[in-house]
Amino acid sequence: MTIQYYGKAESGSVGNLGKNWVALDGETVNLLTYPAIPAGKQKIRILWDGNEEYSGFEKETDVTMTEREQMKFNLKEAPYEVGLVFDHDQNIDYTATAKAIYEAVVESTEPEVDFDEFEVKYNADPSGLIENFKPLDDESLVTKKFGPGSWKIRISWGGSRNYAPGSVTVSVAVTDNRINSKVVLKSEISFTYNKDVEAVKQAVLDNVIDWENSELPEWDTLSVDDFTFSYNARLSLLDGLSSELGDSFADKFLNGEGIRDDVPFEGKSYELGGKVLGSFPQIGAGEQKIKVTFKGNSEYRASEEAEGSVTINKANVKVSVNSASRYVSEAVKGGELVSTDPEDQFNLYIIYAGITSNVTTGVYLELPEQYTSNSTVIKIVDKALESLNQPTLTEMLQNGITVGELRKLLNASEVIDVLKKIGVDTGALGQVIKVINKLPSIADNLRISIGAPNHAGIYSVTAVTDNKNYNTGVGAGALVLKADKAKLVWNQSIGKKISAAEAAGADFGAHLEIGGERVGDQSSVSVLYSGFTSKWRAYSSTTTPPTEPGRYTMTVVVLGGNYLASPINRSFQITK
């Protein structure tokens, strides 16, 4: 059986066009949309197709449709004021806020229904002149975002089988009525540096915040995640500067200013035109100016910044040098021999002192990589030392420096001052001098080579750590540099006999090879020529080969140096 009503399309209806028999709950016919049967007098048609026993029928009649009873809203007395509800992360809890608005406005409804069946919307029109009701969490870019202020609020219900939909629109003042928070910091507080920035934040939370005089939730309900922490950082010359930034701000570094900014405890990159030019370090040891802010939560508003000072003491470090034995050809980097506890980024000054295979005293100073590879650092240190009529870093890297010159350099107060200004740890340099002073038989005129040793020998190794967040650490070990195994090879084969004319142009010498390749340093190759001329005169030389007729023997050996090879010899006759 089919029951229909004679309906009118929602749009496109002209005369009889746009009118049709449609289902009671509405439908689309010939691309026109018809609504569900409305209240009022309506024409009804009942159709049945019949079956084997009964014939079908079609009847039409008029029926008056009455509206369902309207929901009744019983409102509380105006004016209405409601506090926003926030979650722990200080975001508005829109569902809870909507319920708070409903409870502040509505005393009861007839019929009674659960709050979940209501919609609470606000007029999001920026001008307020037209009605454009949206859910409280509307994020549209063309509407006004919900928050504190005076709003038109519409509370609506969608209806039921027995009751028609209903709504009520009221004005509501929405406020942020959370408690005002306040952070107060203690003065003259100190604690020890920790490379874990979260541990530093926790130390501030536990020791620096004055909980008695602050307006905050209970201490045991909060963590470092509930606060923001920043400090006034200085971008020093040694903090990974690009050459562009170092050149532009050279004078600032030389007068100790550097570049300052308030940055998170974690540090941050310094950018110019989208290019990273340097990085502010994470908070470290020293007198630090800090700022702490409470982010706020569901009960407390965010606080204003609290400013204060704290002293972060340097931590201790244990330095170990692992003794090693290597061949000269295996490039030595002192950092590979050194370990620290705790592990962190340390600049290392490494002093090697010992006896070379040539039985000479050798002292080497391996500088931190930033002093040998960062052109900006070298340039600014050179400028500082040159202004004081001292040997520049470039000159020291090329020529070395004597013990006396180094002592004089690091005992000059004006040098110490300028090195401090550009971020050099002069305490570590002082420790380097102490180590050198303790070496036996060290004279002022002994030249210190810059870099790791490159001569075979036995060396003591002393590592001095440099990190502004740690007390200077010292560790010692040993390094044996063994001569590389090589082979002596004759420069020219001369056979058993050679004429005097041929001898005059022959190459009697020998050279060292490794793996068939001639080595660069041949200074340790020594030759001895001995024998008798044809007139029975004895001949012996370590420099000049014989050219007169006679019988001779030559022996080639390696004396000292960086290579080890078995001697070679040959006998030959020079004829007329």
Residue 217 shares a structural domain with residue 362: no
In a shared domain, residues 283 and 330: no
**Is 185 inside a domain boundary?**
no
pLDDT on residue 114: 94
Nearest to 452 by CA among 523, 521, 361, 350: 350
Q: Tens of pLDDT along the chain (576 residues)?
A: 999 999 999 877 776 788 999 999 999 988 889 998 888 999 999 999 999 999 999 999 999 988 888 899 999 999 999 999 998 888 999 999 999 999 999 999 999 999 999 999 999 999 888 999 999 999 999 999 999 999 999 999 999 888 988 999 999 999 999 999 999 999 999 999 999 999 999 999 999 999 999 999 999 999 999 999 999 998 765 555 555 544 555 555 555 556 788 999 999 887 766 676 677 889 999 999 999 999 999 899 999 999 999 999 999 999 999 999 999 988 788 889 999 999 999 989 999 999 888 878 889 999 888 777 766 667 777 777 888 788 888 888 788 888 888 887 777 777 777 777 766 777 777 788 888 878 776 777 888 888 899 899 999 999 999 898 999 999 999 999 999 999 999 999 999 999 999 999 999 999 999 999 999 999 999 999 999 999 999 999 999 999 999 999 999 999 988 999 999 999 999 998
Residue 197 lies in a domain: yes
Does 183 fall in a domain?
no
Q: Which two structure tokens, joined as six digits, stand for 2?
A: 């089919």
Omega cis (within 30) before 545: no
Assess whether 534 and 396 both reside in one domain.
Answer: no
Q: How far is CA 28 from the centre of its chain?
A: 61
Q: Is residue 180 part of a domain?
A: no
Shared domain for 431 and 495, answered yes or no, is no
Q: Which residue among 34, 66, 98 closes a domain?
A: 66
- Find the helix or strand (DSSP H, E) in which 321 lies: strand 318-321
End-of-domain residue from the set 175, 203, 218: 175
304 shares a domain with 215: yes
Domain span holding position 127: 72-175
Continuous H helices in 239-366: 243-248, 250-254
In a domain, 182, yes or no: no
pLDDT at 237: 52
Rounded (5°) CA angle 338-369-471: 55
- Angle ∠(122,126,132) on CA atoms, nearest 5: 45
For the record, the structure tokens of 524 come out as 């340790």
* Residue 160, C-beta contacts closer than 8 angstroms, at least 6 positions apart: 111, 113
Q: How many contiguous H segments (helices) and E segments (strands) does the chain have?
A: 11, 41
Six token digits for residue 485: 């195994």
Same domain, 34 and 151: no
Report if residue 181 sits inside a domain. Answer: no
If one counts every other C-beta atom within 10 angstroms of the C-beta of residue 512, the result is: 25
Does residue 184 sit within a domain?
no
CA distances from 264 to 197, 250, 271 (A): 10, 25, 15
Q: Do residues 170 and 227 share a domain? A: no
Whose CA is closest to 82, among 69, 66, 96, 62? 96
Same domain, 334 and 452: yes
- Alpha-carbon distance of 104 to 81, in angstroms, equals 7
Q: Do 343 and 202 share a structural domain? A: no
Total count of residues recorded for the chain = 576
CB under 8 Å to 247, separation ≥6 — which residues? 376, 379
Domain count, the chain: 5
CA 321 to chain centroid, in Å, comes to 29
The answer to whether residues 101 and 146 belong to one domain is yes
- pLDDT score of 304: 96
46, 35 Cβ separation under 8 angstroms: no
| pLDDT at site 2 | 93
Domain assignment present for residue 498? The answer is: yes
Residue appearing with tokens 């060292």? 512
The reply to whether 207 and 285 lie within a common domain is yes
**Residues 270, 271, 272, CA angle at the centre, nearest 5°?**
130
Last residue of a domain, one of 447, 467, 482: 482
